[in-house]
Structure 1
Amino acid sequence: MIAGLLATLAGSAWARAALRYGVIALAILLFLLALRRSGERAGRLAEQLETTERSHDAQRRMLDAAARRPRSRDDLAERLRDGRF
């Protein structure tokens, strides 16, 4: 029954044009949805990259501070006497 209805509609020039425009509209809709999804994904990845960079920067600053710390109590006392702390 459905095959007969499709055959009848496919025989009509108006139905073929409507079907063609429907397929084109569906393709455009699917393309826009895929574009939106990839944009959202790119935004999430950019946000994750920014967060990671901030975290790495904080870790780098902590490591730099640890590298400059006094090695012993004597070094600390010497720095305090010299006013370099």
Structure 2
Amino acid sequence: MIGGHLATLAGSAWARTALRYGVTALAILLFLLALRRSGERAGRLAERLEAMEEANAGQRRMLDAAARRPRDCDELAERLRDGQF
């Protein structure tokens, strides 16, 4: 007897409408969760990119300083005499 009532309930118009709204709400919820996850991932990638840019800038400064260093003791002495250091 209960099975007959369930079949009637599932076949009613309001049950189909409720099911349609429920499925739509679930799809929207899943979409929002996926959007949040992709936003978090994008934020982590942006932080990683910023850290890499800072590291590259530091390495570039070190390479520039190494390119300007005195080549030998005589050049060092000459720069010290000229006050370039």
Give the superposition deviation at 1:28.
0.3
The residue aligned with 1:16 is 16
Q: Does the 8 Å CA contact 1:70/1:76 hold for their aligned counterparts?
A: yes
RMSD: 1.7
Deviating 4+ runs (over 2 angstroms):
3-10
Gaps of 5+ in 1: none
The 5 Å alignment of 1:1-85 reads: 7-85=7-85
1:4-60: CA deviation from partner (whole Å, max 9, x where unpaired): 776433311111011000000000000000000000000000000000000000000
Give the percent of matched residue pairs that are identical in Structure 1 and Structure 2. Answer: 81
Gaps of 5+ in 2: none
TM (norm. structure 2) is: 0.90
1:58-79: CA deviation from partner (whole Å, max 9, x where unpaired): 0000000000000000000000
TM (norm. structure 1) is: 0.90
